[in-house]
């Protein structure tokens, strides 16, 4: 049981997008046993347990959207968000 009295969710065996076995539970529905959100720390893909199989099952996830470890290492780094400009009196 968890701190909220819920039974621990069964984690998926692999990420649908990159097939990494490092899936983690990210969040649960405020209403018990409605949905669970999972995340893959390897490729940052997140999905809800109630989504269709093509979003949750590695064997049914669309081939064009799958990522391999090599592709992940070749992806561009996400740029940081610039700081806000100081406000001026007329804005």
User: Domains of the chain: which residue ranges?
Assistant: 6-66
Confidence at residue 6, expressed as pLDDT on a 0 to 100 scale: 57
Report the C-alpha gap between 78 and 11 in whole angstroms: 28
Dihedral angle, C-alpha 56, 59, 62, 68, nearest 10 °: 100
pLDDT in tens, 5-54: 556 568 999 999 999 999 999 999 999 999 999 999 999 999 999 999 99
Side-chain-side CA neighbours of 51 within 13 Å: the count stands at 15
Q: What count of residues does the chain have?
A: 91
Tell me which DSSP letter residue 25 carries.
Answer: E
Q: Is 3 helix (H, G, I), strand (E, B) or coil?
A: coil
Residue 91 confidence (pLDDT) above 80: no
């Amino acid at each position: 049981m968890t701190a909220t009295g819920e039974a621990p969710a069964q984690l998926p065996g692999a990420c649908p997008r990159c097939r990494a076995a490092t899936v983690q539970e990210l969040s649960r529905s405020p209403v018990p046993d409605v949905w669970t959100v999972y995340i893959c720390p390897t490729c940052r893909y997140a999905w809800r347990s109630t989504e269709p199989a093509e979003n949750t099952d590695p064997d049914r996830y669309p081939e064009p959207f799958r990522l391999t470890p090599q592709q992940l290492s070749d992806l561009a780094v996400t740029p940081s968000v610039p700081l806000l400009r100081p406000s001026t009196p007329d804005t």
